[in-house]
Amino acid sequence: MRYVIVGGSIAGASATRAIRTNDPEGTIVMVTTEKPFYYRPLIPLIIDDEITQEDIFFPEDIQKSHGIQMINDRAVALDTEKKELTLESGNMLEYDKLLIATGSVPLLPDVPGTEKAFTLRTLTDAHKIKEAAAGASRTVILGGGFVGIKAAGALLKLGLNVTIIEKLPQILFPRLDQKSAAMVQKKITEKGVGVITTETITEVLDDGVSLTSGDVIEADLVILAIGVSPNIGWLERSGLKTEKAVVVDEFLKTSAEDCYAAGDVVQAMDLVEERPAVSVLWTNAVDMGKAAGTNMAGGKKRYPGLLSVLNATEIEGLPMVSVGAVADEGGEVFIETGNGGYRKLVFRDDRLIGAIFMGRLKNSGIYTNWIKNQTPLGNLKDKAIKGTLSYVDFMPKQ
């Protein structure tokens, strides 16, 4: 059996592990443009040397341990009839089972001058920003998401003057609700990051950006961090069914035989929103890769769906976990504040569909599991609201 995986990040790595568990003999070929395998969520930490060059890579050499043949190239076309890939080098690559795991590419605003700006998606991007930051004193970051905020924190530590520009009235939408986002904004503003909301740029200039208000903000380094879109351009003529992203069934099989997809390139059912969504999250890609890899190697593993919001991090001393439909203001909502923390639970009927924990994170995983499984809460809802829920509540009575 010849497995070909297009993409060398976590969905591909996770699939490789699952393939090897089920098929120790088959040939695994991976096509990637990047140096495998590194922890993509950590790339902002490269900018200010918070982690070492070495620590960004997987501690285990899975290329060796899993016997992967690595091809440093880019897939440019797919023929699902002939079961063949065309690579940028002109080489062709045949497969028995294919995994599309090409991830996503940065979204760019539709304004002139974006070629003068940086994006932060790959390790190479992070190195470029680090280099540019060395000679810079002012930076503008477009986009108040986690990537933008992490980059802001790193650049601030390097002594740059940092301004974040966010189109919406709040930062971190939809990963946080208004109130919790305001808490984060306060933290980063106190540290010295400028945040301008309800504003966007009209052009990237040689020495800054111009805003819709007409103002110009001077900057020697402009970073565009407004999000990502699935990397599906190369599949245009493949006949593969795509909508927002590659369409897959619940076993992560695409519309073509023996062709699977996983990670950011896929749209899968959101477990609480009950509509197809694109993940863009590491944690989801791990699970998808595992299911796809198992199925490619002849197993049968259903992928139940993803959570569009499944984020944990710490920003300027404020630890947070955010899961599910947290920005949903329509449902039944419980909010608790105090001690610099914040706790929000969003219910739909007898189910928990979203939760934010800020400050105190203990037992947050129990709630995540609840949201994932959409288990009816029954008489545990009160305990969840009081915050006294623990795993012992799920034990049968003695």
Among 219, 272, 321, 352, binds other proteins (CB under 8 A): 321
d(Cα 19, Cα 101) in Å, to the nearest integer? 14
Identity of the residue, 26 or 359, whose beta carbon is nearer to other proteins in the bound complex: 359
Q: Indicate whether 366 belongs to the interface with other proteins (CB under 8 A).
A: yes
d(Cα 227, Cα 196) in Å, to the nearest integer? 18
Q: Indicate whether 300 belongs to the interface with other proteins (CB under 8 A).
A: no
Identity of the residue, 243 or 336, whose beta carbon is nearer to other proteins in the bound complex: 336
- The 268-297 contact track toward other proteins, x by CB under 8 A, reads --------------xx--xx--x-------
Identity of the residue, 7 or 208, whose beta carbon is nearer to other proteins in the bound complex: 7
DSSP state of 396: P
Among 332, 365, 376, 382, binds other proteins (CB under 8 A): 365
Identity of the residue, 194 or 387, whose beta carbon is nearer to other proteins in the bound complex: 387
Q: Indicate whether 302 belongs to the interface with other proteins (CB under 8 A).
A: no
- The H or E element spanning position 2 is strand 2-6
Beta carbons of 327 and 182 less than 8 angstroms apart: no
> Which single residue is written with the structure tokens 């306060």?
186
Identity of the residue, 138 or 301, whose beta carbon is nearer to other proteins in the bound complex: 301
How big is the site for other proteins, counted in residues (CB under 8 A)? Answer: 41
Q: Provide, rounded to whole angstroms, the least separation between the CB of residue 153 and other proteins.
A: 12
The CB density around residue 69, as the number of other CB atoms within 10 Å, is 12
The CB density around residue 303, as the number of other CB atoms within 10 Å, is 23
Q: Indicate whether 55 belongs to the interface with other proteins (CB under 8 A).
A: yes
Q: Indicate whether 61 belongs to the interface with other proteins (CB under 8 A).
A: no
* Helix (H), strand (E) counts: the chain: 9, 26
Reply yes or no: is the peptide bond before residue 304 cis, omega within 30 of 0.
no
Q: Indicate whether 361 belongs to the interface with other proteins (CB under 8 A).
A: yes
* Helix/strand/coil for 352: strand
The CB density around residue 9, as the number of other CB atoms within 10 Å, is 24
Q: Is the dihedral of CA 370, 374, 377, 378 positive or negative?
A: negative
d(Cα 46, Cα 124) in Å, to the nearest integer? 10
Among 323, 326, 327, 356, binds other proteins (CB under 8 A): 323
Q: Indicate whether 59 belongs to the interface with other proteins (CB under 8 A).
A: yes
Q: Provide, rounded to whole angstroms, the least separation between the CB of residue 244 and other proteins.
A: 24
d(Cα 379, Cα 350) in Å, to the nearest integer? 10
Q: Provide, rounded to whole angstroms, the least separation between the CB of residue 366 and other proteins.
A: 5
User: What are the residues binding other proteins (CB under 8 A)?
Assistant: 39, 41-42, 45, 50-51, 55, 57-60, 282-283, 286-287, 290, 310-314, 319-321, 323, 361-366, 368-369, 390-393, 395-398
